[in-house]
Amino acid sequence: MTKKTGQLTEIRYKLAEEFPWSRNIPREFINRLQSWYCLPESKAKPTIINLWGMTGVGKTTFARELVNMLEMKKCFFEFDARQSNIHSDLISTIKSLATISQPVRGIFLIDNFHYFLKNQTPPPFESPSSKSPIWRIFDDGKLTLQYSEIGYRKIREVYDEFMYWFKKGILIEKGLVSDACKDFFIEKQIPTEAKPKSFQLANIAEDQPPQFIFSRYEAKTLYNSKLHDCHSYHEFLSKIRTMDGDQIKAFLDEMMMNVLEPETIELSQCLFILVGSLDELANEESHLDFEEMTEEFESSSKKITQKDIQRFLTKSIGNHQLSRLGSHYLFFPSLPTMAYYKVIDKELSKISTYFEKKTQIPLRFENGVLELIFEKGVEPSLGLRPLLSTIDHLIGNFIPTIIMSLEIYNSIKSIEVYNSDNGLEAHFIIEGKNPIKLFYPI
């Protein structure tokens, strides 16, 4: 407990350093994780954290970085609400995790969550209701699955085949059909004297004699249904080998009853991070001017409160559904100037590192390049996306040209990139000579 608390404290400081513009979000986020991370077994409902803000301000990146620092990437699953198949993907993932352990323990990030709340969202989110599986998960941490029609048909097929022979008086001892039941072997074309390799591979259950009551397909169908208490396929086969005909019938009767029972998956130990954009809300707020510069826009965005967010959400969902999203709302304000420069510096450092690793030549960008990128790429109301596109356009497209030029010039000590009139200039520094200049027009 003390160790985990210390880990969370350390992560809080790392997040604050990585996202210095995020104000008190690292502290508040970590505080809300405390009981989920340290005492998961004490949770009666899943932990839900709503992370809202303007587009492109780093909400999703913040959540991913948190997962990395928690070292929980193996149980982290990310979904985009814009995808039409997100509902089936989410349910499928939960079902897969439930076969490993219950209660399920995982981190589910649903990005662009505001799309769930729009009228054009595909079912079952088109009209949010308490009957929708996602809302029940948020409410009591349980996912109830009705029986699978396909799974039922497969089990029924095996069951009916067995009952056909059982009613004909088939004799079974320790899972094996008596050699006296000639009709069984003739109709199923099972040779009891020998096991040709092709027949063995196709029809007979692994490591079983041909008299074994179930074919390989039937045994696999029954085992894969998970409607039993066996932990392995070998254990399942061994269990059948202890039964006579009446016991196998009772075993199959129970499976048929179980296949019709709804399955409930426990998700109380899960963390759901709901990431949504508030651009529409910002458009409604008179104090937000989309033409403002970075500092003014950031200052204005800070005026958005949790009540504003909840009021915005009630336009798409009722108070009943809103209450299921919990009370943990964190708001990412728009980015200040300092944040943009930090991102620019970080991205250029990545490029320099990649370049030096590839060419063994240091690459440096002078301050004028940073200023140019800021001027061309910063749109306060659009966040980081235009900035990253600008870096890719200005620098990413210039780097291949620089690398190709290295084939012409020798003994280059380093390369420095400057902002010049109407473009960028790469200076190839050669000891004892004037720099060779390579111009890249903008």
375-385 residue pLDDT tens:
999 988 788 88
Q: Are 104 and 267 within 8 A, CB to CB?
A: yes
Q: Which ranges in 168-230 belong to alpha helices (H)?
A: 182-187, 197-203, 216-224
Question: In this predicted structure, what is the pLDDT of residue 242?
Answer: 95
Proportion of the chain above pLDDT 70, given as a percent? 87
Which of 339, 439, 442, 426 lies closest to 390, judged by CA? 442
Question: What is the per-residue pLDDT across 172-190, written as a single tens digit (0 to 9) for each?
Answer: 999 999 988 989 988 888 8
Q: How does residue 157 score in pLDDT terms, banded at 50, 70 and 90? A: very high
166 in Cβ contact with 245 (< 8 Å): yes
Per-residue confidence (pLDDT) for residue 125, from 0 to 100:
40
209 confidence band (pLDDT: 50, 70, 90): confident
Please tell me the least confidently modeled range out of 113-117, 236-240, 364-368.
113-117
pLDDT at 204: 76
The pLDDT confidence band at residue 281, using thresholds 50, 70 and 90, is: low
Convert the pLDDT of each residue in 100-155 to its tens digit.
Answer: 777 889 999 999 988 877 643 434 443 344 456 788 888 888 888 776 666 788 89
Q: How far apart are the first and last CA of the chain?
A: 56
User: Which of these ranges, 103-117, 227-241, 299-313, 381-395, has the smallest mean pLDDT?
Assistant: 299-313
Tell me, what's the pLDDT at 48? 94
Mean pLDDT along residues 88-93: 88
Q: How far does CA 281 lie from the centroid of its chain?
A: 27
Q: What pLDDT, on the 0 to 100 scale, is given for residue 124?
A: 40
Q: C-alpha angle 226/232/233, rounded to 5°? A: 85
Mean residue pLDDT across the chain: 84
pLDDT of residue 244: 95
Q: State residue 314's pLDDT score.
A: 78
Question: Residues 43-85: pLDDT tens digits?
Answer: 889 999 999 888 888 899 999 999 999 999 999 999 998 887 8
pLDDT band at 274 (very low <50, low <70, confident <90, very high): very high
Do 365 and 352 touch, CB atoms closer than 8 A? yes
pLDDT for 346-355, tens place per residue? 999 999 999 9
Q: At what angle do helices 86-100 and 133-140 cross, to 10 degrees?
A: 50
Residue type, 361: I
Mean pLDDT throughout 423-442?
91
Q: Residue 96's pLDDT is what?
A: 85
What is the average pLDDT across 32-44? 91
**pLDDT value at 287 more than 60:** no
Q: Is the pLDDT of residue 393 over 90?
A: yes
Work out the average pLDDT over 23-45: 90
Split at pLDDT 50, 70, 90, the class of 298 is: low
Q: How confident is the model at residue 259 (pLDDT cuts 50, 70, 90)?
A: confident
408: confidence class by pLDDT, cuts 50, 70, 90: confident
The answer, yes or no, to whether residue 277 has pLDDT greater than 90, is: no
Q: DSSP assignment, residue 356?
A: H
Please give the DSSP secondary-structure letter assigned to residue 214. Answer: S
Measured at the alpha carbon of residue 409, what is the angle toward residues 405 and 414, in degrees to the nearest 5? 85
Residues in CB range of 92: below 8 A, 6 or more apart: none
Q: Is the pTM of this model over 0.85?
A: no
**Range 27-53 average pLDDT:** 91
Domains in the chain, CATH or no CATH each: 2-140+265-335 (3.40.50.300), 149-261 (no CATH), 338-441 (1.10.8.60)
DSSP alpha helix (H) spans, 225-336: 233-240, 245-259, 279-284, 294-301, 306-313, 319-324
Report the percentage of the chain scoring pLDDT > 90.
Answer: 46
pLDDT score of 195: 53
Has residue 22 got a pLDDT over 50? yes
Q: What residue has token string 């915005």?
A: 312
Asked if 114 and 49 count as a contact pair (C-beta separation under 8 A), the reply is: no
Residue 337: which pLDDT band, with cuts at 50, 70 and 90? confident
- pLDDT at residue number 299: 62
- Specify the pLDDT at position 123: 41
- Give yes or no for residue 282 having a pLDDT over 80: no
